[in-house]
Chains A and B, each alone.
Chain A
Amino acid sequence: KAGVTQTPRYLIKTRGQQVTLSCSPISGHRSVSWYQQTPGQGLQFLFEYFSETQRNKGNFPGRFSGRQFSNSRSEMNVSTLELGDSALYLCASSLVVSGGEEDTQYFGPGTRLTVL
């Protein structure tokens, strides 16, 4: 079974531009979560989508948005890029079993975004 895939793997943008990152979850997984990882802040939760609905949201400005499609694939968008948005963006998927106890989250390889 294929793992979580993220595209593109590397991206270089300039301040003020916008960017869209894509995540394809493991087949059959319905939940997709996004995280930002930086050396200073570590791993921080951005948002989670389940059945095309945002189920959880972290403390990020409105410039960060996302969506999920009917096939569970997800995209996140960052508008008006700032230097501080340079980070590794990780996507995770999980099956979502009733109760959540068994929900192992599987992460993709990430997209390395550099903002110049």
Chain B
Amino acid sequence: KQEVTQIPAALSVPEGENLVLNCSFTDSAIYNLQWFRQDPGKGLTSLLLIQSSQREQTSGRLNASLDKSSGRSTLYIAASQPGDSATYLCAAPSTGGGNKLTFGTGTQLKVEL
């Protein structure tokens, strides 16, 4: 059974700081991993999908890495802005195929002026 853990649970940083969010998963037989962002009371916005054959994926100021052997993924946010304040969730496919995702509990990020 896939289990996903995210640390830290909450993070508060000043604007402009670079930061790293961590995600670990127990079943390394995954074919991809996704990072999402959720604003309060809203749905999830897909940020990055890393395929199992990739080690990194970049989109603007975001960079996600995947290390299947250690069961870890990181989301790096460069030059953080107040608009980055949100909850960040990582999700790994569950064993058995299909699109069943197991989510971590998220990292609540606050970027202060």
Decide if A and B are genuine partners: yes
Residues of chain A having any CB pair with chain B under 8 Å: 4, 31, 33, 35, 42-43, 45, 48, 50, 55-56, 58, 88, 90, 92, 94, 96, 99-110, 112
Contacts of A106 in B (CB 8 A): 46
* CB-defined A-B contacts under 8 Å, sample of 28: A4-B43, A31-B98, A33-B101, A35-B101, A42-B104, A50-B98, A50-B99, A55-B98, A55-B99, A56-B97, A56-B99, A58-B100, A92-B44, A92-B99, A92-B101, A96-B99, A99-B31, A100-B32, A100-B97, A100-B99, A101-B52, A104-B49, A105-B91, A106-B46, A107-B36, A107-B44, A109-B43, A110-B42
Closest to A111 in B: B43
Q: Are A42 and B43 in contact (CB under 8 A)?
A: no
Whether B18 sits at the interface, judged by CB under 8 Å, is no
Contacts of B32 in A (CB 8 A): 100-103
Q: Are A42 and B46 in contact (CB under 8 A)?
A: no
